[in-house]
Structure 1
Amino acid sequence: MNPVATLFLAFAMSTDAFAAAIGKGATLHRPHWREALRTGLIFGVIEALTPLVGWFIGRAAAQYVSAWDHWIAFTLLAILGTRMIRNGFKASEADEKKPAAHSFWLLALTGFATSIDAMAVGAGLAFVDVNIYSTAAAIGLATATMVTIGVLLGRVIGDVVGKRAEMAGGVVLIGIGCVILVEHLQLL
């Protein structure tokens, strides 16, 4: 795979994480750039590791990964999105009620849910002549960049949207899960 194709693949893999990051940034109390960078790094590392895992699994049994990846991603994103919507109904209009940061585990779970497709891509790359390590690094770097920007953009959107920001982020996560599911079901 040439460098231009790798770059396009890297940014394509980061788009769902970017959308989720906007929702995460919108739910925080004026997230600082350090929180945005922390979130970006967590998502980026996970997004870099999942194609590697997929590649190794793809070497062993690609049909098993591709048969279930869309269901796993849909389920995780639907659960997280529903949780965000439910929390949005509980939210107070006061900014003081918003957290300053999300927990590591919540970010890691969201990062994993948005990177299931990268695992499937990694499984597919197992059958192509590609340097999986440089490709995974490009995917991770693109995701870290896009998520950091997304959290900061979410800060602006959160100020505009107010207490419904978390609900909007939940709807986005569920929407991403639905798109992943529909895309895979249409291929059948």
Structure 2
Amino acid sequence: MNLIALCLLALAMSTDAFAAAIGKGAGLRNPPLTEALKIGLIFGTIEAITPLIGWSVGHLAAGYVQAWDHWIAFVLLAGLGLHMIHQSLGGEEHEPDRPPRRGILRVAVTAVGTSIDAMAVGVGLAFVEVNILLAAGLIGLATFIMVTLGIMLGRVLGGLIGKRAETAGGAVLILVGCWILASHLQG
């Protein structure tokens, strides 16, 4: 997997956290940059750890499924992408509609909820040639940046682009899955 695909994957993985951050930012009254950075760091750290966990699990199983590993990666990425698009089009919500609180535990739980897809992506990445530390680092960095921006922009952009970001992220995941499948089928 090349650097461009990894960057696109990182961006796609950060979109659901970005959407959640916009919602959180919309509920906060003029959040200071330090609070946005703290929330971004929590999300980014968790989002970087979960693909490592998923990759470890997938790597343990890689020897048993090596002949069809590219299909597993494709199904996982495309399925997650479709799920993200479904959520963005009015499927299930990330959080109930209630005013967000600022507690670190609540932020961490939200971050874990939005990073489950990154864990599943990590499983898929175990079946392709990828530097998992670079992939996890890029996912964490993209999430940190997107969540920090989402918190700060939440008051202005909350209702405008929150769900559209998740739709785009889902589409990118599907495209990355298709690219992995096409790469393996062609040679």
TM-score range, shorter chain: 0.5 to 0.7
Instruction: Provide the secondary structure at the position in 1 that maps to 2:29.
Output: coil
Residues 139-163 of structure 1: per-residue CA shift (max 9 Å, x gap)? 00001001100000113347xx8xx
Displacement of 1:129 in angstroms is 1.2
Provide the residue aligned with 1:17 in structure 2. 17
Per the alignment, do residues 4 and 80 of structure 1 end up closer, same or farther by CA in structure 2, a change over 3 Å counting? Answer: closer
Per the alignment, do residues 157 and 79 of structure 1 end up closer, same or farther by CA in structure 2, a change over 3 Å counting? Answer: closer
Q: How does 1:32-51 map to 2 (within 5 A)?
A: 32-51=32-51
Provide the residue aligned with 1:52 in structure 2. 52
Provide the residue aligned with 1:111 in structure 2. 111
Distance 1:26 1:79 in 2: 16
Displacement of 1:22 in angstroms is 0.1
Instruction: Provide the secondary structure at the position in 2 that maps to 1:29.
Output: coil
> Which stretches in structure 1 are left out of the alignment for 5+ residues?
89-98, 162-168, 184-188
Q: TM-score, normalised by structure 2?
A: 0.67
Provide the residue aligned with 1:96 in structure 2. none
> Which stretches in structure 2 are left out of the alignment for 5+ residues?
63-71, 174-187
Distance 1:112 1:148 in 2: 16
Provide the residue aligned with 1:27 in structure 2. 27
AA matched with 1:4: I
Note if contact 2:17-2:143 (Cα within 8 Å) is conserved in structure 1.
Answer: yes
Distance 1:38 1:105 in 2: 12
Per the alignment, do residues 80 and 120 of structure 1 end up closer, same or farther by CA in structure 2, a change over 3 Å counting? Answer: closer
Number of aligned residue pairs: give it: 149
AA matched with 1:8: L
Q: What's the Cα RMSD here?
A: 3.4
Distance 1:119 1:30 in 2: 32
Displacement of 1:2 in angstroms is 1.0
Note if contact 1:46-1:112 (Cα within 8 Å) is conserved in structure 2.
Answer: yes
Which stretches of structure 1, 4 residues or more, deviate above 6 A after TM superposition?
A: none
Note if contact 1:43-1:108 (Cα within 8 Å) is conserved in structure 2.
Answer: yes
Displacement of 1:42 in angstroms is 0.6
Residues 93-118 of structure 1: per-residue CA shift (max 9 Å, x gap)? xxxxxx7x611111111111111111
Residues 151-181 of structure 1: per-residue CA shift (max 9 Å, x gap)? 00113347xx8xxxxxxx8xx6xxx7xx98x
Note if contact 1:31-1:155 (Cα within 8 Å) is conserved in structure 2.
Answer: no
Identical counterparts, % of pairs: 54
Note if contact 2:33-2:152 (Cα within 8 Å) is conserved in structure 1.
Answer: yes
Distance 2:47 2:93 in 1: 20
Distance 1:79 1:23 in 2: 11
Note if contact 1:10-1:142 (Cα within 8 Å) is conserved in structure 2.
Answer: yes
Q: TM-score, normalised by structure 1?
A: 0.66
Provide the residue aligned with 1:137 in structure 2. 137
Displacement of 1:119 in angstroms is 0.5
AA matched with 1:46: I
Provide the residue aligned with 2:124 in structure 1. 124
